[in-house]
Chains A and B, each alone.
Chain A
């Protein structure tokens, strides 16, 4: 049982009023009040308190609304209403005020129209462009892409060079590169031309010198061209139709070696020159110079195998080009183009608008 004292008597008083004290507690309360008569009045006050809820009469506050300056600060109240800055009481009061003044309703409506709504049809379309991918994945893809691009170019170039090899007997076309020694076999017509020129020079020289020349110079001179100089040579290998005449024009002949002896041309008496190609270096050994430029080596075999290899290479090249196209967002196809002028078929693809880049911080 609880004991009542001056520290907790309020609790007992409340329980007493609400009828929640048992008989013993009720007796204890009566004894406590007898001993503390000053608290008797307090209990009486608590018993008189009426908790019944009064009916809320909003109209009763009406005179107080007149104090709110709706008339003078009408605009501010309108904006505050839009911005939800009014408390519940002010909001209700203001709405009542507007309802009673129809002319104010027009102004309030105008204010309500100033509330903007987002135009959801306006969207940022290129979200994909803003998004990021895993750095490791990007680097991997970049490496694969680079490799695919390099492989494609190498393969394309190889296919191209093998196309040239298709007609090895075609002496009109020669393939040049900077790092390839060029051996030229001069045709008879050129030899004759050179002989005639030298003979002309010879006729203007002293007869005595001619006699000496006859003693020292053999009738037929075998020689090779040294210190040749190619005037125009691009960094990349070029395929060009070069006539024998053009080849001679580009070569500066400094001296001729005849039978391992240096013989000055001016001293030659019988200038039946015969320029031959160096036997050790033949055109067959300078094949696939395009691959050599790329640091690779591959030599197409002949016959059926050649066709098979070409087909495989074309497939690989096509795969590489497709990958590049996917990354660039363009459709790129390998195309075989026949050139009737040169009677050659080339494999090519269009690279307009394709570039490779990597983000740099």
Chain B
């Protein structure tokens, strides 16, 4: 990849990678650090990466860096262990976006990541599998489970509202 192509990659993908990471970890500074780190790694390997594969490389690098960070911090609890009712009564949601953000937060890290890659970036199962180092069928299962959980959460809130 050439220098010009690298700089084009910055323009094309930095926002997307930043959004993807920020939606996952909800920490703007750390998201920024991860984006910076990912592009730093890309630059170090700029001679070995072709321009067509740069998006996949960036998301893969950013995702793995993020997972390392999450593992270190162990800050999230899995949706399975959360009682939805404990959240639903304390806050009132009027905006679907807010509700979706809350629903997204209650997914497990891997479920959230695959859904975001699917919806934000429009990756297919195979591409998501490559980024997350899962099998295609695993990705499919995670997405199906995530959708069902999100639907249950939204439905639960809507019934209360």
Interface residues, chain A, CB within 8 Å of chain B? 75-76, 78-79, 82-83, 107, 110-111, 113-120, 122-124, 126-127, 129-134, 361
Contacts and interface: CB of A to CB of B under 8 A. Distances in A.
A118 B115 CA distance: 12
B7 A117 contact: no
Q: Which 10 A-B pairs have the closest CB atoms?
A: A116-B119, A124-B18, A114-B150, A124-B14, A118-B120, A130-B10, A123-B15, A130-B39, A110-B151, A131-B7
Contacts of A126: 32
29 contacts: A75-B148, A76-B144, A79-B147, A79-B148, A82-B147, A83-B118, A110-B154, A110-B155, A110-B158, A111-B147, A113-B151, A113-B154, A114-B151, A116-B115, A116-B116, A117-B119, A118-B16, A119-B19, A122-B15, A122-B19, A123-B15, A123-B18, A124-B32, A124-B35, A127-B14, A130-B39, A131-B6, A132-B7, A134-B3
B66 interface: no
B47 interface: no
Interface residues of B, number: 37
A131 B15 CA distance: 14
Chain A interface mostly = loop
Contacts of B10: 127, 130-131
A128 to B, nearest CB: 9
Most buried by B among A116, A123, A127: A116
Interface of B: 3, 6-7, 10-11, 14-19, 22, 32, 35-36, 39, 43-44, 96-97, 100, 103-104, 115-116, 118-120, 143-144, 147-148, 150-151, 154-155, 158
A81 to B, nearest CB: 11
Given A113-B151, A114-B103, A118-B119, 12 more contacts: A83-B143, A107-B155, A113-B154, A114-B147, A115-B119, A116-B100, A116-B104, A118-B16, A124-B15, A124-B32, A129-B36, A130-B39
